[in-house]
Amino acid sequence: MIPITIALFAALAALPAQDVVPVVKRVGLAVAMIDRAAIEDTVRTLVGFGTRHVLSRTDSDTQGTGAARRWLQRRYEEIAAASGGRLTVELQSATVPCARPGMPREVPIVNVIATLRGTTDPGRIYVVGGHYDSRNSNGADGEGVAPGAVDDASGTAVAMEACRVLSLLQFPATVIFVAYDGEEQGLLGSAAHAKALAEAGAEVDGMITCDIVGNTLGMDGARYDRHLRCFSYAASGNDSLGRSLARAATYAATTHVKEFGVELIFRGDRYGRGGDHRSFFEQGFPAVRFTEPREDFSRQHQDVVVRDGRRYGDLPDYADFDYMAKVTQVVVATLTELASAPRAPLVLSAQLRRDRYDTELVFQMPPGVERCEFVWRKTTEPDWTGVVDMRTAGLETVRNGRLRGTLPGVCLDDVVVGVRSIGADGSRSRVATPQEPDRFDQRRAATNRERAQPESGK
């Protein structure tokens, strides 16, 4: 690291929140602070605990899950000490019955949670996490070696490094960094966290899980280190809150991260598999998963052995720490944009002008927010292709503070339109879209089916 960068960064971090520093500058300096060596140290230290299985020992300082979480807590506390009291660290414990068959007993599930409280809108929350628990070929083995370097010391290290860098800045919204426990046994730690947030009435505007973000050598021998996959859930259609969050990640990566991309995948997770973002989706929060492009299945959930001359096991020797640093850049860019930006507008309605092919959008801006822009894409396009500033869209006030923007030549029948808030520093919120008019009404469909089959239930 160059000392000048540190000095600049320190000067920037010390600026009062009301002094407007362009978000592009804040992200640029934060990204420059990401330390590949710190990420590697986290991964190798976690692997050094032998196993981090939920059933492993908790009474040792060098081996097992207890040692691992105490080390994670200490590292987060060191980061907090450098943050001037803005970052706080806590352990969240839950005793949950083990979901996996063959698990002999209930175990405590312990998440390590670091919270960077927002300055002016702390009730709006963004979460980034990885899971620190690991497993080998036998899901119920709490004693055998389970290094879990890529699954998921990599994601745990990415979340921690993002915390180290972002805790030097201030944001209007709150950012929470988590090392989750019990993912391998059925998303136990994240389920407890998401449930607690939902029960507290928290407004989680986005959750990113980084899970399996460290292998770049495909089983085909090719190198895949230029992008990450972003999986997002949707109950129906392609404009769920999760997809909106996913497109905020592509925006941040395109704007701030060089030579590295985010590939949108419109599926909740890899085929038939799961991760901690699911826990947040199930509570109704926008949530996505970041994962490497090509997983090496000879590493994940494997005993460390040599079979037929081939080494198996999730060892750090096969992890790509430069790649993890790139993933951290995407996380830092996405969270800096979203946590700096105002809330997204509230879209009330959209209609096509009947005298020409213009789209009108009626919406409400969050209080005190003065700038926004409109975006659109064809219904079959994955990401926004058109953008127009509100000044071009001829913004008018209709009534009760509601605004109407007109998108000239954008035919609503053929596109999805949306609007996002822009902060004074140029940061962008998620895009808010109007509800699709032909949403499938499940209740009505069920009633219709009942009417159509009066004999059913015999």
Cβ 194 to Zn ion shortest distance, Å: 16
Cβ 386 to Zn ion shortest distance, Å: 37
Site track 8-47 with Zn ion (rule: CB under 5 A), x = hit: ----------------------------------------
* Spatial distance between the Cα atoms of 125 and 434, rounded to a whole number of angstroms: 23
Nearer to Zn ion, 151 or 269 (CB): 151
Residue type, 177: F
Residue 126, class by beta-carbon neighbours within 10 Å (0-12 exposed, 13-18 middle, 19+ buried)?
buried
Nearer to Zn ion, 150 or 169 (CB): 150
Cβ 419 to Zn ion shortest distance, Å: 36
| Strand ranges in 337-391 using DSSP code E only, listed in sequence order | 346-352, 359-364, 371-378, 386-389
Number of residues binding to Zn ion, judged by CB under 5 A: 3
CB-CB neighbours of 27 under 10 Å = 24
> Could you give the maximum distance between any two Cα atoms of the chain, in Å?
78
| 455: its two tokens | 């004999």
Stretch touching Zn ion by CB under 5 A, among 122-130, 143-151, 234-242, 403-411? 143-151
Nearer to Zn ion, 208 or 344 (CB): 208
User: In the set 133, 152, 161, 373, which binds Zn ion (CB under 5 A)?
Assistant: 152
Residue 79, class by beta-carbon neighbours within 10 Å (0-12 exposed, 13-18 middle, 19+ buried)?
buried
Closest CA to 141 of 183, 102, 96, 180: 102
Nearer to Zn ion, 115 or 136 (CB): 136
First to last CA, the chain: 73
Nearer to Zn ion, 295 or 358 (CB): 295
Axis crossing angle, helix 65-81 with helix 154-166, rounded to the nearest 10: 20
Cβ 198 to Zn ion shortest distance, Å: 23
Nearer to Zn ion, 292 or 373 (CB): 292
Nearer to Zn ion, 255 or 298 (CB): 298
* Spatial distance between the Cα atoms of 43 and 147, rounded to a whole number of angstroms: 9
Site track 404-433 with Zn ion (rule: CB under 5 A), x = hit: ------------------------------
CB-CB neighbours of 438 under 10 Å = 7
Is residue 32 within 8 Å of 159, Cβ to Cβ? no
Position 358 contacts Zn ion (CB under 5 A): no
Binders of Zn ion among 206-235, rule CB under 5 A? 211
CB burial readout 82-114, b (16+ within 10 A) else e: ebeebbebeebebebebeeeebeeebebbbbbb
Nearer to Zn ion, 155 or 206 (CB): 155
Stretch touching Zn ion by CB under 5 A, among 15-23, 43-51, 111-119, 145-153? 145-153
Cβ 61 to Zn ion shortest distance, Å: 25
What DSSP assignment string belongs to 118-166? -SSEEEEEEEEEEE-----SSTT-SSS-B--IIIIIHHHHHHHHHHHHH
User: In the set 133, 151, 295, 358, which binds Zn ion (CB under 5 A)?
Assistant: 151
CB-CB neighbours of 255 under 10 Å = 14
Cβ 268 to Zn ion shortest distance, Å: 15
Cβ 206 to Zn ion shortest distance, Å: 20
Nearer to Zn ion, 273 or 307 (CB): 273
Cβ 131 to Zn ion shortest distance, Å: 6
Cβ 33 to Zn ion shortest distance, Å: 27
Q: Which residues bind Zn ion (CB under 5 A)?
A: 151-152, 211
